[in-house]
């Protein structure tokens, strides 16, 4: 090799190595800044079959920190595990129906001075996926005093003879903005869900006069699996928790109005919530005729349940366009002789193009301008936190949903 080429090759290798070392150093520095909040849900007693959305559940309210003054935090991961009553031993994840984390979205919009309207749901974990971990440098911003609401529910579809005490162990990882050496990329969540038409003629959520060439296939006519439902402005009644008859069924739902994209953006994480017997869920860009993301589901080889569902995590992201039409498509294959219940939701964590990082003074001013925002648990008073590790004896929630000591 010519000496000049040899020198160039060495320089290139040195530059690549230097870049890798810098990226590693940056990643390690961020990891050192991560703090954890661990919460134990109440103890649930499972002593019979509990179908999806029918088991004992509980809600808890807490905040990530109790600082003297409000500060900006970034949530970077959310994990849920099933454990025994004292929270020390891992149990099968099949006992978890879901772990949902919500925020008061009206208060959040005021504090962040949002123009857009978004979902109060921050995270949902369920069978097949028990952790959301954003790419390095990405996170959901929130003010430290903001209360979060955790909803935990158990599930048991395989063991009719059982007497098991379980609880959810939740771990939230976050970083403090004041400790950062590099800026974070802000995310917000927007969901797209499959539904069936329970009552009405159209089958397109939020559209009275749909064009199938533009809006795709209509929702299938179906039966709700619970009393809860969704009615659009035209009086059409839909259900996002529906009954799947025996056999294979494909469901389509126009998702444009559910996503309600406020601007062109990119998705950097996609999580999904499915029930057993689902085989895949995908978001289709009807305008371009392409699949945005498809998540394959792996069902258990024995019994009922999901082993794994695919997720998406990438710093480059997937583009989503405000003026495009989107559709959710999912396949359920019910091999049993009886009906099964179903849900199919995709959670898109999108780059927030309108985010402006609030200063300490702005946070204090916005809290003081509107007395309604000064919720008592946002002050330095005690936070209503049920069964945090080390907090003492937990309450028990029995199979009928009641609390026992």
C-alpha–C-alpha distance, residues 148 and 152, integer Å: 13
State the pLDDT at residue 383: 33
Choose among 288, 350, 310: nearest CA to 134: 350
Band of residue 26 on the pLDDT scale cut at 50, 70, 90? low
- For 89, counting Cβ atoms within 10 Å of its Cβ (0-12 exposed, 13-18 middle, 19+ buried), the class is exposed
**What proportions of the chain, in percent to the nearest 5, are helix, strand and coil?**
15, 40, 40
Q: Both ends of the chain: CA-CA distance in Å?
A: 79
User: Model confidence over 156-180: pLDDT tens digits?
Assistant: 999 999 999 999 999 999 999 999 9
Confidence of residue 230 (pLDDT cuts 50, 70, 90): confident
Dihedral over Cα of 240, 245, 248, 250: its sign: negative
pLDDT tier, 353 (very low <50, low <70, confident <90, very high otherwise): very high
């Amino acid at each position: 090799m010519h000496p000049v080429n040899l020198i160039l090759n060495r320089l290139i290798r040195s530059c690549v190595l230097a870049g890798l070392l810098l990226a590693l150093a940056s990643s390690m520095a961020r990891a050192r800044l991560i703090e954890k909040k661990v919460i134990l849900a109440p103890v649930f007693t499972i002593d019979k079959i509990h179908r999806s959305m029918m088991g004992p559940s509980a809600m808890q309210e807490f905040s990530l920190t109790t600082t003297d003054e409000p500060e900006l935090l970034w949530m970077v991961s959310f994990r849920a595990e099933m454990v025994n009553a004292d929270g020390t031993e891992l149990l099968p994840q099949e006992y978890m129906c879901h772990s949902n984390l919500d925020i008061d979205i009206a208060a959040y919009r005021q504090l962040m001075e949002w123009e857009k309207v978004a979902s109060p749901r921050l995270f949902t974990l369920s069978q097949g996926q028990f952790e959301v971990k954003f790419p390095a440098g990405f996170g959901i911003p929130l003010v430290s005093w903001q209360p979060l609401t955790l909803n935990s529910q158990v599930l048991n579809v395989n063991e009719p003879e059982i007497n098991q005490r379980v609880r959810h162990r939740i771990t939230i990882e976050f970083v403090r903005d004041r400790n950062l050496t590099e800026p974070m990329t802000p995310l917000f969540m927007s969901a797209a869900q499959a539904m069936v038409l329970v009552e009405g003629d159209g089958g397109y959520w939020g559209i009275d006069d749909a064009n199938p060439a533009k809006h795709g296939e209509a929702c299938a006519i179906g039966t709700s699996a619970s009393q809860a439902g969704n009615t659009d402005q035209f009086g059409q009644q839909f259900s996002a928790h529906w009954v799947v008859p025996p056999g294979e069924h494909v469901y389509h739902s126009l998702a444009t109005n559910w996503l309600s994209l406020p601007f062109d953006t990119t998705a950097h994480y996609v999580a999904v919530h499915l029930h057993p017997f689902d085989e895949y869920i995908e978001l289709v860009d009807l305008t371009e005729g392409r699949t945005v993301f498809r998540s394959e589901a792996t069902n258990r080889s024995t019994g009922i349940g999901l082993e794994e569902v695919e997720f998406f995590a990438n710093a480059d992201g997937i583009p989503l366009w405000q003026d495009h039409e989107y559709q959710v498509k999912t396949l359920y294959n019910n091999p049993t002789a009886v009906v099964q219940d179903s849900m199919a939701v995709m959670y898109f964590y999108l780059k927030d193009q309108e985010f402006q990082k609030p200063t300490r003074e702005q946070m204090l001013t916005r809290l003081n301008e509107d007395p309604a925002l000064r919720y008592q648990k946002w002050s330095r008073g005690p936070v209503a936190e049920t069964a945090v590790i080390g907090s003492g004896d937990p309450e028990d929630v029995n199979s009928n949903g009641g609390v026992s000591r």
